[in-house]
Structure 1
Amino acid sequence: MIEADVLARRFEENRSRLRAVAHRMLGSGAEAEDAVQDTWLRLSRADVAGIDNLPGWLTTTVGRVCLDRLRTRTARPEQPWDTAAPEPDPTDSAPVDPEREAMLTESVGRALLVVLDTLAPTERFVFVLHDMFAVSFEEIAAVVDRSPAAVRQIASRARRRVHQGGTVRETDPARQRRVVEAFLAASREGRFDDLVSLLDPHVVMRADPVAAALGSAAERRGSAVIAGFFNGRAQGASPAYVDGMPGAVVELGEGVRLALSFIVTDRIIGIEVVADPEQLATLDLIVG
């Protein structure tokens, strides 16, 4: 059993990430802080002994809280991209800093928040958790009660709408493509340090069962681990777009044997590897 003070400390270690998720989901600093506090209340009441991955549990839980709030918002006029600082919460160990709130809004980007506000609640939930925080489709599917394949389609639809809504630094396909191309080049040329520099320290790579059987492993975590896996590889990989995301494919004969999609913010935070022929057939692939 995790002691209360240890649990509180671990929650605080994840607070900035949870605030970022909530801010992108709700568009308001004040509402984001409320959602984070609601997540803490849920954690304090949960059976933590059954939580294997606390950061993942917290991320999906704050996302669920925000999804519920989006679904129940009234018809009152919203200002989801406000820069107003939230009222300090007496349970928050660190007082809210108005300057920090303004910087948070700027880092998200007003334009992105405006575009996100046009998405339906489930679309916004899927896009934010998957494309911005690398939560797996399987984890998201459990929250929205859809199949992973259906969630993938929702993500693809939301992604197209976001990209059509304007070029925003965090979701700029051209910039993401450059990062992925640099990663593939470093992989082919065996430049380990460059690979590490292009990966977020907490990057996650997930592979489907067919890809795992080929030697990819179901999941790998950490920039050094994943850089080591890719170092000297990608010889046969060609740049591509996978369901609208920058990625790569490995072709064998006239067909695609393997598809990789990359989740990119400032650096690569997630990589998904698909080799199952049935799944490959459902992907929207643009090679070149």
Structure 2
Amino acid sequence: MDPATVARFEANRTRLASLAYRLLGSAADAEDAVQDTFLRWQAADRERIDVPEAWLTKVVTNLALDRLRSARMRHERAAGDWLPEPLLDGDPMLGPADTAEQRESVTLAVLLLMERLSPVERAVYVLREAFAYSHAEIAEILDITESASQQHAHRARRRVATGRGAGEITGAAARRVVEAFVDAASSGRTERLVALLTADATAISDGAGPAGKILRFSTPERIAAVLRGAFKPTPAKRRLAGGALAMYAGVINGSPAVIAALPDRVVGVVVLEVRSGKVAAVRAIAAPDRLARLTLQWRRREHTDPLIASW
């Protein structure tokens, strides 16, 4: 390809990646979908493509849908044994963030709720809510009617509505939430943690169970007991982590988060969903493959002082 043709694709790469990430919940799978789109672009008869941006959007969307429908991905996400890949605030793959709908569409809460949707409903929801495509444009991208697009959007919004409205949070506000959470979790007193949690709080963790099984907890008392144990440092935990960790406050997928890091990598994150000033959901992610991109982004940033310098 000539440089201008490559440049045309590269001008769309970030948008395509953020679209694919919202559809797939995985940065690695999103990057694969974008690379496959580039190969299609390379092989296409580009003289017959009237609007390259629309053509690329259609290709990457349908490649992402093929992945969602694949046996491998259906197996991975069966029975809810799956968590999205977390992304650090400012990662370009998070994509557009000009509207509340765009910011909400990339939170872990909404990415998990989108698992309830069919692949087509998920695509309509993302294209409409996060990228503001018209129903006529969505119909063209997905080869459905405009009426079907409207119906899919209505059903998707209804199913996802329970995860919306948690409110936006600034870096300073996120740090205050995380400071209170870490202080309570490391105090050894479960009653302090219980006071921070909503009555219907839930917690989910990967990497802590046998064979990587997802662990789920409910009731504030049970969650507080689990967190108290998890935040208690021991020599065995330090050996498993690869050394003494530093604990930082950060923002991940638009939510306040505890980031546990060694000098060269992020070892785990705890993402907090806040509702009415309390923590409604705790999502702990430690699987290395889910933290690869976040670690790369983390290495490129300057960080505020850690909440705990050596855990």
What is the TM-score of this pair, normalised by structure 2? 0.45
The structure whose Rg is larger is 2
